[in-house]
Amino acid sequence: MLLVGLGARKGWNRRAYRRAASAAAGALVKCGAKDALFLLALEPVPEVDAYYRARFLVEALGHATYRIPDLKTAKKPPAPQLARVGVAVER
C-alpha cells in the first residue's frame, strides 16, 4: 500500500494534484509493484473534474514507465514491473 497526500486542503489545486500523481506513479515504478489501484482520482480538486483527475494519473504513469530504448551508455534501465493499473473515478 502506498499513501500519497495532497497537503493541506486549502492548498489543493491542479498543480498539487499533478505533483502528487507524479510522485505516486514514480514510487510505484521504483518499488517494483506489479498491480496498482489509484484512488487519488476520487479526491475533489477545485476546478478539476473527474476526467482530468484520471487523465493526470494516466499521464504520470506514462512518464514514470517510459524508458529510452537506445542508450549508448553502460547498461539499459530495467523494464518496469507494473502490469495492471486501475483508476477509481466517480460517476
pTM of the model: 0.79
Say how far apart CA 37 and CA 54 lie, in whole Å. 12
pLDDT score at 42: 84
pLDDT score at 22: 92
User: Could you give the dihedral angle defined by the CA atoms of residues 80, 83, 87 and 88, in that order, rounded to the nearest 10 degrees?
Assistant: -130
Kind plus residue range of the DSSP H or E element containing 54: helix 50-65
pLDDT, averaged per 10 consecutive residues of the chain (91 residues), comes to 77 88 90 86 85 91 82 71 84 74
